[in-house]
Structure 1
Amino acid sequence: MMCRRAERFLRSNGFPVTLGDGFRAWNNSGELPDAIGFRNGASCLIECKCSRADFLADRKKPFRIAPETGLGDWRFYLSEPGIVTVADLPPGWGLLYLRGRQILKVFGWPGNAHWLSEKPFKANKQAECDFLYSALRRSLDRIELPDTMHHVTP
């Protein structure tokens, strides 16, 4: 439920292409995001944390230890208030709280003018491309393309 809300939040905040935790695809980082959104020139990852233990375990993942291998130019934790605090955040991360049906921008959410110019991370663009390629390929498999378009099979 929290992951779906994160995905909707991204769409309603300027990321028209989103993928949630239900989408599984191989990428060279091994990361499977709870929600990731893409807009022209920027990507945003949201990791949902339902418990403090889940948050602490997240720090041990290889793509957290080496942030340049992870997804997202912008990265946020989403939790209920108190599970993750601003003081807990690794460098560059932001924080969102889920309160009822509302997601609150607690820390680090930039204004529209800053998405391209102040990215806190240099995302693993190959992993993001792998992820998007897999999504596009699956979408194309489900639709019939007009004769003017070419369908490339893997």
Structure 2
Amino acid sequence: MTDLTHSQLCLIAEKFLKQNGFGVVFHDRYQARLETGEQPDAIGFRNNVSLLIECKTSRSDFLADKKKKFRVNQNLGMGDWRFYLCPPDVIRVEDLPAGWGLLYAHGNRVRKIHGFPTNIRLITEKPFKSNKQAECDFLYGALRRMVIRGHFDDIYIKL
């Protein structure tokens, strides 16, 4: 098996979120200008919850991630739930910051290694108080692009 690239992991994360009930999902090709500087590799939204997936292809990338201001101050980060997605054994459960979960990519498949909640826990036991302002800014940026490109009216029911 060939090594997965970061872009491939991001697309796998997007597909995983959709398969797990997240109706609005973004991967890393969507870039927003956020005050915090965070650019999610994949983030999904569903009613009353958000889930962020950070994709890591190497241990050094994972270790560098800990230094980002929205990781040091968890309240600046997006995602009520936060997971790392990586090839097997790049990150181990004992390496995880408090509250984070772990997913392994095996080819195009994702294996839940640690912390993935049941549907009810997804809503009731969020490990993080996500930065809802950053999430709103992120979503506003996406909707604004739809307005600029003339697609916003597509959200309305045709009468």
The answer to whether the 8 A contact 1:27-1:127 is kept is yes
Structure 1 runs (4+) greater than 3 angstroms displaced: none
Aligned partner letter, 2:21: G
| 1:77-120, Cα deviation, whole Å (9 max, x unpaired) | 00001100000000000000001221001100000111111000
Gaps of 5+ in 1: 150-154
Does 2:153 match 1:145? Answer: yes
Aligned residues: 148
Matches within 5 A, 1:47-62: 47-62=54-69
User: Paired residue for 1:97?
Assistant: 104
User: Paired residue for 1:133?
Assistant: 140
For 1:32, what is the secondary structure of its paired residue? coil
The answer to whether the 8 A contact 1:96-1:105 is kept is yes
Give me the whole-angstrom Cα distance separating, in 2, the residues matched to 1:34 and 1:145: 28
For 2:123, what is the secondary structure of its paired residue? coil
% identical equivalent positions: 55
Would you tell me which structure has more helix in proportion to its own residues? 2
| 1:15-42, Cα deviation, whole Å (9 max, x unpaired) | 1101110000112221000000000000
TM-score normalised by L of structure 1: 0.92
The answer to whether the 8 A contact 1:27-1:128 is kept is no
* Alpha-carbon distance change, 144 to 126 in structure 1, aligned in 2, over 3 angstroms: closer
The answer to whether the 8 A contact 1:74-1:121 is kept is yes
Shift of 1:140: 2.7
Give me the whole-angstrom Cα distance separating, in 1, the residues matched to 2:65 and 2:53: 13
Aligned partner letter, 2:25: T
Which of residues 69, 74, 79 is equivalent to 2:81?
74
Q: CA RMSD in A?
A: 1.5
The answer to whether the 8 A contact 1:97-1:106 is kept is yes
TM-score normalised by L of structure 2: 0.89
